[in-house]
Chain A
Amino acid sequence: MQIVFDHICTYGGLRDFSLELQAEGCISLYDPSEKLSASLLSTLVGLEDICGGKLSLDGIDYADYWQNHQLLETFGYVFDEGIMLSNLTLKENLLLPWRKRFDNESDKLFETELQNWLSRLDLNLDINLRPALVSAAERKFMGFVRALMLKPRLLLIDDPYYLLNKGERQKLNGFLRELKRNVNLLIASADDDFIIGFASRVISLQDVSPA
């Protein structure tokens, strides 16, 4: 997928920002401030409104792109904090976007997919609990499961190590190393683990942000 930011300004953090990237394989966005990269990912999923410039996906204007594409089939977004809807259980949190993404798919397929990803991430938790009753790391991992189950063209990951301890970071790093073979990833991070020897391309946002 080709993504072009052309002198983009947003109501969030992007000011006259330009960047062109071919989002295939694994790309890391290096941003020590972490604000610019978070804004970039947020803008892609429509969380930050564009107030100037032009953003295009595969050569099509961002607004027009959604006439023929669904957001959930295009981008999967893993928030830094592993956000879950507090009024739903973990399972319902996963079912909500699933039913929007796969209207006619059966819930049985959902169960199969869910168990597959839970075992791949070695997660053993009661998915009928509310998010407040599980640890922050478990919520974060469930955020990965939720995004991956939807089979997006590009998985956007904001600060993968946020909220994780050393052991959990190693586990996630191993998982992402395996994942990058089959899934296109765009990772916003300032951690060396994702900058050195991990991604097929590293983009330093220090160099591209004119501010």
Chain B
Amino acid sequence: MIQEQRKKSLTDFFLFLAETLGELLRLRNNRHVSSQVVMRQILFTGVEALPLIGFIALAIGGLTIMQGYAFLSNFGQGIWVHIILVRVVVSELSGIITALVVIARSGTAISTELGNMVVSREMKLLKSFGISPVGYLVVSRILGVMVAMLVLTLYFNIIAVLGGWLFSQFFNHLEFRAFINDFLAVISLSQVLMSLIKSIVFGWIIALTASYQGMSVRQASTEVPQRTIKAVVSSIFAVIIADITISWIFWMFS
């Protein structure tokens, strides 16, 4: 019985994914009605999350430098701290931590908002205009979250590196130019590319999962928090699996 339900839920998800992709291809036709939703999603997911992301990035960058320098300077290998900053923060942590923040803020908000819209029959209202709810509400949110994730991850990386330099001042008074030169010497284009690809894929996963769970609400408002919890748990799982997969692909081809 449970297995059958899982199968049905998986089928529903893939049907939803197919409908989303179909609407994405018809984006040009929906542009006049979707741009407003995209902009609002970027504002909420991206702009309003900047202070929190900035704070976390500063702390992570600083702590990485602090811990790394304390350990490596014992062996006279302080330069390796930059490699750790690139490997750990830029390649891995920036995408994952930004994704977790976006899941906590926007994933829950998308799922709750869409769920409540289903309960209050707003999806039916859109259909009565001949507007596809998936095209208008879901595709717009997916695009908004993808753009916001990309910008937030870039912002995270920049702040983390700057935070790293600020903290390094406590241990040895390294010049900013020297710090950046060392950083640029160890970072590669593929690492930056991987970080950006991850952010876009994570944004897609978070918005798609949250939208699917929100749109899966049937009638009762009590379903909304249950679906929101499912959206968070599924998003975290999917993001981590995607992270491992993308890292593995880049590792294979590097």
Contacts and interface: CB of A to CB of B under 8 A. Distances in A.
A79 B32 contact: no
B113 A87 contact: yes
Interface in A41-97: 42, 45-47, 70-72, 75, 77, 79, 81, 83-87, 92, 96-97
A96 B121 contact: no
Interface in B113-144: 113, 116-117, 120-122, 124-131
B136 to A, nearest CB: 8
A92 B33 CA distance: 10
Chain B interface mostly? helix
Interface in A102-145: 103
Contact of A85 (B122, B127, B130): B122
**Size category, B interface:** 10 to 19
A205 to B, nearest CB: 21
B122 A83 contact: yes
A203 B129 CA distance: 26
Given A83-B121, A85-B122, A96 B129 contact: yes
A128 B215 CA distance: 27
B169 interface: no
A177 interface: no
A71 B127 CA distance: 10
A85 B131 contact: no
B36 interface: yes
A11 to B, nearest CB: 13
A171 interface: no
Nearest to A78: B128
B129 A86 contact: no
Given A96-B33, A100-B33, A81 B127 contact: no
B39 to A, nearest CB: 12
A47 B117 contact: no
A79 B121 contact: yes
B126 A85 contact: yes
A85 B128 contact: no
Given A86-B116, A87-B113, A100 B131 contact: yes
Contacts of B126: 85
Among A46, A70, A92, max chain B CB count under 10 A is at A46
A167 B124 CA distance: 29
A86 B120 contact: yes
Contacts of A45: 127-128
A86 B130 CA distance: 18
25 contacts: A46-B127, A46-B128, A46-B130, A47-B124, A47-B127, A47-B128, A70-B130, A75-B128, A83-B120, A83-B124, A84-B122, A84-B125, A85-B122, A86-B113, A86-B117, A87-B37, A87-B117, A92-B36, A96-B33, A97-B131, A99-B32, A100-B32, A100-B129, A100-B130, A100-B131
Interface of A: 42, 45-47, 70-72, 75, 77, 79, 81, 83-87, 92, 96-97, 99-100, 103
In the complex, the 3 A-B pairs of residues with the closest C-beta atoms, listed nearest first:
A71-B130, A97-B129, A77-B128
